[in-house]
Structure 1
Amino acid sequence: MERRARSESSLRRTQGRKKSSPRILIVCEGEKTERNYFNAIRRERRLSGARVQILPSDYGTDPLSVVNYALDKFLAEGRAFDEVYAVFDRDDHHTYNNALDRASALNNSYKNEAGVRVPFAAVPSVPNFELWLLLHFKSVLAPIHRTEVYAELKKPAFYPTYAKNSATVYDDTKGNIGTATQRATHLRESFNPADGSDPYTDIDLVANKLLSIPVPWG
């Protein structure tokens, strides 16, 4: 009886952990770079692809298309997600501010199949995703063009081997993720992403969300 009681207790703990693990949909502007980054975290944390889906936008790479695809994917999958993220860059996109407004309007506007309202968040980077990587190596407090971000990032003292679409970006930089998070938080406290010119990124929020999910048993 004691062994059975322990087994039942263990099962309840396992079931509770599985229940608490959120189902997350992440739609990215980029075909590979951002997806590779988040997928590397997903694999490290042993999060199943069924619970954490990381997809490119099938509607195109402009920010509003990314947001619209994230919504349509959420609906097409039977609303079987607890959180939705639309990841895109400022770059020179004309629909950038429209995408921010659209995501804000969608936030908590839909319920999932369990009847719970779903957070729907835009995850912008100004000027681009690579700013997040650069923050692993230095602070950036003034407007910077994407070409400057690449040039700075690839300096010998920082990340000279960086290449877009690399599958090792997360592994190459994760040792400094705490520092990068502090710098991204400072930018969030200092600037408004809607301005579109000051350096800004919310990539840390999604990365740390995935890193905070308990590793499954087994």
Structure 2
Amino acid sequence: MSPRVPKPSGSRRENDPVSRTTDLRRRPSGSKDERRSYLILCEGKTEKLYFTGMRTRLGPELAVDAPGGSHVEVVREAVRRCVDEYDEVWCVLDTELDGDLIERIQTAASEARVDLALSAPSFETWLLLHLKDCASPFASAEQAKKALAVTCPGWSEARTRFADFRKGVDDACDRARKLHGGERDPRLNPFTDVWRLVESILR
């Protein structure tokens, strides 16, 4: 999908303290640009396949990519890709149960005004929540992947399809919100706030 050409600077409020990713929300009703647009940069192929599968003809425009590089480099890449052209810009990343890594990601995103959808230890935590409650901690990302493969026979990172998880989206959002009593701390295990991005797309 080719990103839209940015509107002339006169169409935006100058010195708006609100995040740059919200600047294009005030579009005239009925205009060809009425559909919301998202830039979603993912850490890996699994996440990319999931969000690519969420594209619909009448839904929001989803520009999804997995550019490679470190977690912080993914955030910086989001900035380089003209964030002003999108209503919302997100990076979908794993925490890998590393507190220092989480801090570096959050710092980079704060400086760049990019939203984060983090999962601990990995994105597979979010996928598992489509299928069942998932409150026990994982020792590693690999353990989470193995648990998902057992719960969803036939699943693999390269064969991730949103269609296989579509029916459980509402359950996943509800379960993710309730993890750890609703506390939103990516240092928790398991953890995911991917539901924030998913609900934004679906609403």
**What TM-score range do you get, normalising by the shorter chain?**
0.7 to 0.9
The offset of 1:205, in angstroms, is: 2.0
- Partner of 2:85, secondary structure, is coil
- Partner of 1:165, secondary structure, is helix
Please list the CA deviations of residues 4-32 of structure 1 after superposition, one character each: whole Å capped at 9, or x if unmatched. Answer: xxxxxxxxxx95264442221111111x2
Match of 2:41 among 22, 27, 34: 27
Q: Check the 8 A contact 2:126/2:192 in 1, yes or no.
A: yes
CA distance in structure 2 between the partners assigned to 1:63 and 1:211 by the alignment: 26
Amino acid paired to 1:101: T
Q: Check the 8 A contact 1:29/1:89 in 2, yes or no.
A: yes
Q: Check the 8 A contact 2:121/2:190 in 1, yes or no.
A: yes
Q: Check the 8 A contact 1:187/1:200 in 2, yes or no.
A: yes
Question: Is residue 2:127 matched to residue 1:165?
Answer: no
The offset of 1:204, in angstroms, is: 1.9
Q: In the alignment, what sits opposite 1:204?
A: 195
Gaps of 5+ in 2: 1-27
Q: Check the 8 A contact 2:121/2:191 in 1, yes or no.
A: yes
Match of 1:81 among 77, 86, 90: 86
Question: Is residue 2:57 matched to residue 1:66?
Answer: no
User: Which entry has the higher C-alpha Rg, 1 or 2?
Assistant: 1
The offset of 1:46, in angstroms, is: 4.2
Amino acid paired to 2:153: P
Q: State the TM-score, normalized to the length of structure 1.
A: 0.70
Alpha-carbon RMSD: 2.4
Amino acid paired to 1:164: E
The offset of 1:45, in angstroms, is: 4.7
In the alignment of these two chains, the number of paired residues is 173
Q: Which of structure 1's runs of 4+ aligned residues deviate more than 4 A?
A: 45-48
The offset of 1:95, in angstroms, is: 3.3
Q: In the alignment, what sits opposite 1:128?
A: 122
Q: State the TM-score, normalized to the length of structure 2.
A: 0.75
Amino acid paired to 1:41: M
